[in-house]
Amino acid sequence: MSRRIGKSLAVNGATLVTEAAWNAELDAKHDRLVEWMKGQGLAGVLIRRNENVAWVTGGAVESRVLTPGETGVASLLVTAAGKRYYFTTENEAPRLHDEEFGALDFEPVLFPWWADDTGGAAAKLSGGPPGSDTPGAGFTLVNLAPLRAALSESEIARYRWLGAETAAATVEALHEVEPGLSEYDMEAITEAGLLRRGILPSVALYAVDERIFKYKHAVPRGKRLKQYGMLNLCSRKWGLAISITRFIHFDALPEELAARFNSAAQVNAALLNATRAGATSAKLFKVAQAAYAAQGFPGEERFHHQGGPTGYGEREWIATPQGTEVVVNNQAFAWNPSIRGGKVEDTVILRDGVIENLTSTPELPVLSDAIVNGSTYAAAGVLVK
């Protein structure tokens, strides 16, 4: 096995992934990508999308500068002959070498910032028909998402850290929330906690009171909290994405709302129990549909998507009535069933038939009575103050 990276991954002085484990991950991905290219009749694949750059480099490279951008300041080329290159401009090259690619065995190809010819150079270096994960003349458009689906042990180690730290930041923020704060205040408090940990916020859905009941995707608009607040967010690091939602209510939680949370937890449990290797997107949609009906809310699934697998995308796909995508082992999921103001959302991993919750918050109230086929699936309840 050839060396792909020359360092371990350490966070706050503790080794999260050893150099050997990181090398093994990168070698396995390289071999999988080369085998896939040969099956597609491609001589090389140009990788420009941020999620794919992160995946191929095992999270070692963050090329993102424009936060919402699909691409960053560097692109990769992997050839069927086993060559590996990164393309960037001369002004970006020093930092990318020192902080991103320096420990990796990618060969740099540099251009002046006014004369970037990544496409032309990649086509030439491929030595045959090239593919790309973004549209481009002369390139076959490819989808690398299926290659990213099953996570390696070292990816799971990074994911556990990210899930735990995101959950901790969310709990900290929830305890700082008080009546009179605006939705923007809630967003700022939560995202500050993430940024202090070196974690990038990627989805911000913060809402209060009637907006939680009225809108399924309530982006912050400045309303001030009276009684009921929602922190619904996604975070990113090493290319991996975490989803979590938590709630706070001041004064007694209305019985009807509490019942809706319990029902949402039952739908979530049904989905988690059905999240097994080989299950299709369509089957999982039907599970959610039936679970809502069993809870006395038939048709509730029509008001919002129910979630699906995550990993290098906040959702790699979502469960739909005719969806043909298939669950694989070692895949991450974020289901988000909701019922008129009550919602459950965590990020989990399916590992050999067992669901592992990456964002559990046992210090908050837990809805623990969701049982399906003899298995209990705990979900977070509402923090009542």
Cα distances from 4 to residues 8, 107, 110, 145, 310, in angstroms, run 12, 12, 21, 22, 26
Which pLDDT band, with edges at 50, 70 and 90, does 368 fall under? confident
> Residue 34 pLDDT > 80, yes or no?
yes
Average pLDDT over residues 357-361: 97
Beta-carbon-side half-sphere exposure of residue 315 (alpha carbons within 13 Å): 18
Percent of the chain with pLDDT over 90: 96
Provide the sign of the torsion angle of the four alpha carbons 278, 280, 285, 287, taken in this order: negative
Percent of the chain with pLDDT over 70: 99
Taking Cα atoms as reference points, which of 148, 156, 199, 146 lies closest to residue 22? 156
- Residue ranges of the alpha helices (H) in 137-279? 145-148, 153-176, 183-196, 210-214, 255-274
Distance CA 170, CA 163 (A): 11
> pLDDT tens digits for 312-347?
999 999 999 999 999 999 999 999 999 999 999 999
Please report which helix (H) or strand (E) contains residue 11, including its range: strand 9-11
Count of CB atoms situated within 10 Å of the CB of 28 = 15
Distance of alpha carbon 111 from its chain centroid, rounded?
32
Average pLDDT over residues 178-197: 98
Spell 65-104 as b/e; 16+ CB within 10 A means b. eeeeeebbbbbbbbbbeeebbbbbbeebbeebbeebbebb
Q: Report pLDDT for 369.
A: 77
Q: Report pLDDT for 213.
A: 97
Average pLDDT, the chain: 96
> Residue 2 pLDDT > 60, yes or no?
no
Sequence letter at residue 248: I
pTM of the model: 0.96
- Do 367 and 253 touch, CB atoms closer than 8 A? no
> Residue 231 pLDDT > 60, yes or no?
yes
- Close Cβ partners of 325 (under 8 Å, ≥ 6 residues apart): 280, 281, 308, 309, 317
> Residue 4 pLDDT > 90, yes or no?
no
Cα distances from 254 to residues 178, 259, 337, in angstroms, run 18, 9, 20
> Residue 365 pLDDT > 60, yes or no?
yes
> pLDDT tens digits for 125-175?
999 999 999 999 999 999 999 999 999 999 999 999 999 999 999 999 999
> Residue 1 pLDDT > 50, yes or no?
no
Average pLDDT over residues 42-49: 98
Apex 299 CA angle, 294 and 304, nearest 5: 115
Which pLDDT band, with edges at 50, 70 and 90, does 3 fall under? low
End-to-end CA distance of the chain: 56
Average pLDDT over residues 83-97: 97
Average pLDDT over residues 31-51: 97
- Close Cβ partners of 196 (under 8 Å, ≥ 6 residues apart): 169
Coil, strand or helix: which one is 96? Answer: helix
Task: Record the tokens describing residue 66, joined without a space.
Answer: 């424009």
Distance CA 216, CA 235 (A): 19
> Residue 289 pLDDT > 50, yes or no?
yes
Only one residue has tokens 């608009």, namely 221
